[in-house]
C-alpha cells in the first residue's frame, strides 16, 4: 500500500471523526453517475494520449517510461498494475485535490487568487510526490496533470469524475506500456 493510499484512508477517517461534511473534500453525489463515469473515462484517456504524444515530447521526455517499462507484455503483473491504477485515482484525488484544497482553502480563503494559489501549491506537491519513482519526466507530467485536475476541481468542487479521469489516465498509460506502443504514441506527432 502506498503512502498516498494510507494518507487517503486517514483523510476519510479524519472527515468521519471530525464530523466535517463530505462535500468539503469533494465527495459530492454526481449529477449523473453514468455521465460522470463516461466523461471521466473519455477525458482521462484523451488527456493521457495528448500528454504522451504532444506535451511530453515537447519537454524532451524519452518515448519509454523507464520506471514502468517492466510492465511491457508482463501478463503476470497486469492485475496488480490495474488495481494500483484504480487505487491511485481514488487516493491521489482524495489527498491532493480534496484534502489539500480544503485545508489550504481554510488558510488562504475563498477568493479567486487564493484558489489559483491552491491549484499551484497542490500541483507542486503532486509533482513532487512523483519524483522519487519517476524522476524529472514524472514531475513534468504530474505538474501539468495537477494543474489541469486542480483547475477542474477548483471549478466544480467534485471529485467523482476526477477520480475516474485519473484512473483512466493511468490505465491508458498502462495499456500503452503493456502493448509496447510507447514509441509509436510518443512519435505520433513529432517524429
Residue of higher predicted confidence among 178 and 191: 178
CB 140 within 8 A of CB 73: no
Give domain status of residue 40, yes or no: yes
Distance CA 127, CA 78 (A): 25
Distance CA 47, CA 22 (A): 28
The per-residue pLDDT for range 141-185, each reduced to its tens digit, is 999 999 999 999 999 999 999 999 999 999 999 999 999 999 999
Mean predicted lDDT score pLDDT of the chain: 96
Give domain status of residue 75, yes or no: yes
The count of structural domains within the chain is 1
**Torsional sign, CA 89, 95, 101, 102:** positive
CB contact burial 63-81 (16+ within 10 A = b; e otherwise)? eebeebeebbeeeebeeeb
The grid coordinates of residue 66 equal 523507464
Give domain status of residue 12, yes or no: yes
Look at residue 191 in the predicted model and tell me its pLDDT: 75
Q: What is the pTM of this model?
A: 0.94
Helices 160-178 and 33-50: crossing angle in degrees, nearest 10, is: 40
Give domain status of residue 191, yes or no: no
The per-residue pLDDT for range 16-58, each reduced to its tens digit, is 999 999 999 999 999 999 999 999 999 999 999 999 999 999 9
Give domain status of residue 68, yes or no: yes
User: Cα separations (Å) of 140 from 44, 52, 63, 127, 185?
Assistant: 17, 12, 14, 7, 18
User: 61 is in which domain, residue-wise?
Assistant: 3-186
Amino acid at each position: 500500500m502506498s503512502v498516498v493510499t494510507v494518507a487517503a484512508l486517514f483523510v476519510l477517517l479524519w472527515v468521519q471523526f471530525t464530523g466535517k461534511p463530505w462535500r468539503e473534500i469533494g465527495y459530492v453525489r454526481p449529477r449523473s453517475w453514468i455521465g460522470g463515469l463516461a466523461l471521466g473515462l473519455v477525458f482521462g484517456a484523451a488527456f493521457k494520449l495528448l500528454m504522451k504524444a504532444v506535451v511530453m515530447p515537447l519537454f524532451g521526455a524519452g518515448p519509454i517510461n523507464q520506471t514502468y517499462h517492466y510492465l511491457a507484455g508482463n501478463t503476470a503483473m497486469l492485475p496488480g498494475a490495474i488495481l494500483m491504477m484504480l487505487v491511485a485515482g481514488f487516493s491521489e484525488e482524495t489527498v491532493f485535490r480534496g484534502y489539500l484544497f480544503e485545508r489550504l482553502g481554510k488558510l488562504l480563503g475563498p477568493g479567486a487568487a487564493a484558489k489559483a494559489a491552491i491549484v499551484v501549491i497542490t500541483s507542486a506537491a503532486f509533482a513532487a510526490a512523483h519524483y522519487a519513482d519517476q524522476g524529472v519526466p514524472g514531475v513534468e507530467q504530474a505538474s501539468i496533470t495537477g494543474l489541469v485536475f486542480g483547475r477542474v476541481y477548483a471549478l466544480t468542487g467534485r471529485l467523482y469524475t476526477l477520480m475516474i479521469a485519473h484512473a483512466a489516465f493511468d490505465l491508458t498509460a498502462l495499456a500503452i506500456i503493456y502493448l509496447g506502443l510507447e514509441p509509436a504514441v510518443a512519435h505520433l506527432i513529432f517524429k
